[in-house]
Amino acid sequence: MMEKIIKYMALSSEVLAVAVLNYKDEGDLFDWACYIDSVKGINHDNEYQQVARTGSKQSERIAQVLFPNYGITKYRR
């Protein structure tokens, strides 16, 4: 069973970058991906989930710049 963790950051009031991280049962990072999309900018705590579902998947290079802590070797291609 995998555990999914979602982290997000605002690139502007109406654009979010979202990291979707999948962890193994042991707590080790299995893989991750980064998505970006526009939002209404009303409440990011509610809007990030839609970006995770339907946002534009970013390249490894952009993902690593936005979320450098997760390591490129685990990036979901």
Distance (Å, rounded) from C-alpha 37 to C-alpha 25?
A: 30
User: How many Å apart are CA 34 and CA 75, to the nearest integer?
Assistant: 9
**Domain spans, the chain:** 3-74
Taken in order 70, 71, 73, 75, is the CA torsion positive or negative?
positive
Q: Residue 50 has what pLDDT?
A: 98
pLDDT score, position 38: 98
72/60 Cα distance (integer angstroms):
7
Tokens of 66: 């936005």
Residue pLDDT, tens place only, 14-26: 999 999 999 998 8
Residues 24-75: tens digit of each pLDDT: 988 899 999 999 999 999 999 999 999 999 999 999 999 999 999 998 789 9
Residue type, 5: I
